[in-house]
Copies of this chain bind each other. A is one copy, B any other.
């Protein structure tokens, strides 16, 4: 029988705290078949643009579509790599420079699967999830972020 996954919410209002990350790591200490965790964190950079310096990024998303797509990506990554766990958290709203806006966490028995899956997840999140970042500059201008 196919396992039906209901779209798990990946969105967090505001920045992702270090405490949340610590809690998430602690939650895995009872899973004694895990040998390696791979974590990627996206942090807001104070980029210098011709129009001013970035102070924050305000994230919006087409949430329903993003959650459906995230389920699809999760299933594809789970079927490709022997993972124990996979977690995706993305911020919505205004995230200031130095704060964390993306937290991707994969775990597996042997390290390679967790590392490769984490890299691939980050690439797919950036390319395939309908999320938009608007940079808020110190000139009080705004500018839509472009992923490279």
**A22 interfacial contact with B, CB 8 Å:** yes
B36 touches A41 (CB 8 A): yes
Q: A122 on the interface (CB 8 Å rule)?
A: yes
**Option from B34, B37, B45, B46 in Cβ contact (under 8 Å) with A40:** B37
Contact of A46 among B23, B32, B36, B148 (CB under 8 A): B32
Task: Say yes or no: A29 contacts B111, CB within 8 Å.
Answer: no
Measured as residues with beta carbon below 8 angstroms from the partner, the interface class of chain A is 35 or more
Q: 28 A–B contact pairs at CB < 8 A?
A: A18-B25, A19-B22, A21-B22, A22-B22, A25-B41, A28-B98, A29-B98, A30-B98, A32-B45, A32-B98, A33-B45, A33-B46, A34-B43, A34-B45, A35-B42, A35-B43, A35-B45, A36-B40, A37-B40, A37-B41, A37-B43, A38-B41, A39-B41, A40-B114, A43-B107, A45-B109, A115-B119, A115-B122
